[in-house]
Amino acid sequence: MSESRGEKAFSVFVHVVLIAIALTCILPFLHLIALSFSAGHAVDLGQVFFWPVGLDFTAYEYFFQNTPAWRAFGNSVTITLVGTALSMLTTILTAYPLSRRYLYARRPITTAALFTMLFSGGMIPTYLVMSNLHLTNTYWALWFSGLVSTYNMLIMKSYFENIPGEVTESAQIDGCGEMQLLARIVLPLSLPMLATLTLFYGVGYWNMFMNVIIYINRTELQNLTVVVQSMLQIQSMDNMMAMDVMQQQELVTEKMKAVGVMVMVVPMLAVYPFLQKYFVKGIMLGSIKG
């Protein structure tokens, strides 16, 4: 069936708009890449746009050799891996019972969970709780403060509810208990959702900033986000005064900002392609009640 002239014009318009939106996301990222690999004098003179001018790796060398970047990177990996595993475990163990229609007080518990999306205890009471539990300056404060996302839990709950009842009933008839049913039937059927929420939690823990500032005072425990943020501030470049003039020209502030952002973004960009195929499918199936 051929398209009418109006339909073709609308299709062209939609494609132009989508391309323009995509460029607003891609071009700034390309600009950052170009800044991070360009010579300092070119960056200072504003000669860099979307392609490096005078290829130079001085800023990367300085960032990894003269800042606690490697230690902070290791801290970020630890926070992200352990935190994501704990959050996924607790989210699964919360969502699965609430998805079973025969759970006693299922609706009040779900309502109570929804209440936390509108109202929370607040920053100061939460800090006092962590302090009284002697969890400050430990990663447990970061993990416990964001252990379960109500939004993610409700998506997973909805996904579990969409699994055909005949599948779970036949497994129960064959003698499966609740934990066997969850491990052998429900979770294997929920791989798209598990991968999607793993990405959500992983990005959240990787980019965690405010909680680290609040609960972690020891610099050796701070993650990459805090280190990069300090590099983004002009005041953090005071230690460059000990360098000679040529080095300072190659390590201008804008270039160091670009390097910091690239170091933060690249690890997540490397992980995302492996989970992308599950991303849309997981969200759509988890958000449709049917």
Give the torsion sign (CA, 47, 50, 55, 58): positive
Q: For position 1, what pLDDT does the model report?
A: 58
Give the CATH number for residue 106: 1.10.3720.10
Backbone region of residue 161 per phi and psi (left: phi > 0; alpha: psi in -120 to 50; beta: other values): alpha
Give the torsion sign (CA, 44, 47, 52, 54): negative
pLDDT band at 186 (very low <50, low <70, confident <90, very high): confident
- Residue 48 and residue 62 in one domain: no
- Residue 131 and residue 264 in one domain: yes
Q: For position 248, what pLDDT does the model report?
A: 47
Give the torsion sign (CA, 169, 174, 179, 185): negative
- Residue 33 and residue 161 in one domain: no
Range with the poorest average pLDDT among 47-56, 140-149, 163-172, 231-240: 231-240
Domain span holding position 250: 57-287
pLDDT at 172 over 90: no
Q: For position 92, what pLDDT does the model report?
A: 92
pTM: 0.78
- Residue 49 and residue 83 in one domain: no
Among 41, 56, 71, the domain-final residue is 56
Counted domains in the chain = 2
Q: For position 182, what pLDDT does the model report?
A: 81
Percent of the chain with pLDDT over 90: 11
Residue position matching structure tokens 């934990």: 179
Range with the poorest average pLDDT among 8-12, 28-32, 43-47: 43-47
